[in-house]
Amino acid sequence: MKQDSGQRRTFRGTFLTLRHSRPKPLRGVQKTLSLLTPNYLKRTISHRTTDSTPHKPRKAKQFMKDSFVPRKENSPSGKFHTIDYLRQIGVPELPPLISPFDPGYDPVTLESHLDQSAHLMAILKISMACWMIAKESATRQKIAAARAHGVPTVTGGGPFEVAVSQGKLQEYLDLCADIGVTRIECGEGFTDLYASPADIVNDAHSRGLEVQFELGKKHTGAFSVNLIDALIEQGQAWLAAGALQLVVEARESARGVGLFDDEGNLNRSFADRFANAFGLETVVFEAPNKPSQFALLDHFGRNVQLCNVRLEEVLRVEIYRRGLHSDAFGKSNLRPHIVTTVPTEEMTVNS
């Protein structure tokens, strides 16, 4: 018991020592803290009178409440719409002119992009061979989601080239038709094609599939003058066979391939060759990144068709197309122009 009492005395002594050894706050800090006490606030408020007439002091909370003007509540009414405002500032209404690609997103992500931007999409590319090795139910779900949003789908050209090289084109076409895609892309990007365009298109059509053809190789660098002539001739043959559109190769980098040099600069004269030969309604330019997208829109204007645009970049491309991007607003072929109409009565008087 004595040991316990000693321990308590020792602990008590330590506590007292610690209590008396706490540092005292500075005088300035003490004074500042005292100014913030409720009693001080009440005294301060009660002395703020405009005349000698005594008035009832207000409480600090009421004083703070009276010092602010309440903000008006924002209650959306649904009376105003973005499409009406775009018309008012001169943005033209355009048909879908962009073909984004799905590099293998999950169905939920893809469906979210469709909810947001389906009205802007001409066709959705189920790119590369990702759709073949993904869970089949997920692939079918994505294609069904695009169909539900009114967006047609097209497979990338790579699986077609593999199927032809492996001697399994008919099996590939059967699979594409059963999966539910609208169109297949054909090409010779990294293989050589020996079957005639007419035979391939007929085989696709017999299964209810549309066809588009990609112009250019993936590994031979930027286009040359002689190659442009050969590609135009090749494109004309595929169109004559029944292909609906032609795609100009740019891969994923738009550097040292197709219409783009090693620095990523667009060869505008070569681009014009394709546009003049096929028309902007038939030729589609791959534009996988911001420099290629903006360069093609700057050159051709808002009616050019772009493909291989990432889903998350669709809205950026489309605001640039409509002149709503800061880099596009100053360009005469992209900037929106407000058209003013003269009333009929005024025109009659003036005439």
Domain boundaries, the chain: 89-321
What does the pLDDT read at residue 128?
A: 87
Q: Is 3 exposed, middle or buried (0-12, 13-18, 19+ CB in 10 A)?
A: exposed
What are the average pLDDT values for consecutive 10-residue runs of the chain, which has 351 residues?
Answer: 47 46 52 51 48 54 56 81 96 97 96 98 94 97 98 97 97 98 97 96 98 96 95 98 97 93 96 98 97 98 97 98 97 92 54 43
Closest by CA to 307, choosing from 200, 106, 152, is: 152
- DSSP 8-state secondary structure symbol assigned to residue 120: G
CB 198 within 8 A of CB 241: yes
For the packed helices 169-179 and 136-148, what is the interaxial angle rounded to 10 degrees?
60
Closest CA to 306 of 283, 290, 287: 287
pLDDT at 74: 76
Residue bearing tokens 């076409």: 173
Coil, helix or strand for 108? helix
Rounded (10°) angle between helices 268-278 and 290-300: 60
Instruction: Look at the pTM and tell me if it is higher than 0.85.
Output: no
Whole-Å CA distances, 19 to 16, 24, 128, 284: 5, 11, 74, 82
Burial of 252 (0-12, 13-18, 19+ CB in 10 A): middle
Q: Which CATH number fits domain 89-321: 3.30.470.10, 3.20.20.70, 3.30.1330.60, 3.40.30.10?
A: 3.20.20.70
Kind and range of the H or E run holding 144? helix 136-148
CA torsion angle 274 277 280 281 (round to 10)? -130
* Cα–Cα dist 276/273, whole Å: 5
Picking from 285, 288, 218, 216, the residue whose alpha carbon sits closest to that of residue 252 is 288
Cα 202 to Cα 183: distance, rounded to the nearest angstrom: 13
